[in-house]
Amino acid sequence: MTWVELAPTVGAAFLASLVECVEAATIVLAVGTVRGWKSAFAGTGLALLALVVLVVALGPALAQLPEQALQLFVGLLLLLFGMRWLRKAILRGAGIIPLHDEDAVFRSETANLKLARATERWGVDPIAMATAFKGVWPRSSACSWTTAPWLWRSCCGARQSA
Amino acid sequence: MDDGSLALALVLWCAAVGLIALAVSSVPASVLAGALLVGCVATLLVNVALAARKRWTSRLGA
The structural domains of chain A, with segments of one domain joined by +, span 3-126+135-157
Q: Which of B10, B52, B55 sits opposite A79 (nearest CB)?
A: B10
| Tens-digit pLDDT profile for residues A8-48 | 777 877 887 887 888 888 889 888 888 888 888 999 999 99
- State the count of interchain CB pairs (< 8 A) between A and B: 35
Closest CA to A145 of A49, A25, A20, A28: A20
Nearest-angstrom CA–CA distance, A54 and A17: 18
Nearest-angstrom CA–CA distance, A146 and A77: 9
Question: What SS3 state is found at B17?
Answer: helix
Could you count the other beta carbons within 10 Å of the beta carbon of residue B58? 9
pLDDT for residue A160: 53
Is there a contact between B6 and A84 if contact means CB atoms under 8 Å apart? Answer: yes
Q: How far is A94 from chain B (nearest CA, A)?
A: 9
Is there a contact between B51 and A76 if contact means CB atoms under 8 Å apart? Answer: no
Is there a contact between A91 and B14 if contact means CB atoms under 8 Å apart? Answer: no
CB B33 within 8 A of CB B59: no
Beta-ladder partners of A121: A124
| Tens-digit pLDDT profile for residues B2-61 | 678 899 999 999 999 999 999 998 889 999 999 999 999 999 999 999 988 888 787 777
Question: What SS3 state is found at A117?
Answer: coil
Nearest-angstrom CA–CA distance, A150 and A143: 11
Q: Which of the pair, B26 or A162, is modelled with greater confidence?
A: B26
- Burial of A135: CB neighbours in 10 Å, binned 0-12, 13-18, 19+: buried
Widest CA span in chain A: 59
CB distance from A89 to chain B under 8 Å? no
Alpha carbon A40 to its chain centroid, in Å, reads: 16
- CA-nearest residue to A94 within chain B is B52
Q: What is the pTM of this model?
A: 0.64
Is there a contact between A87 and B48 if contact means CB atoms under 8 Å apart? Answer: yes
| Interface ipTM | 0.82
Nearest-angstrom CA–CA distance, A121 and A128: 11
CB distance from A79 to chain B under 8 Å? yes
CB distance from A90 to chain B under 8 Å? yes
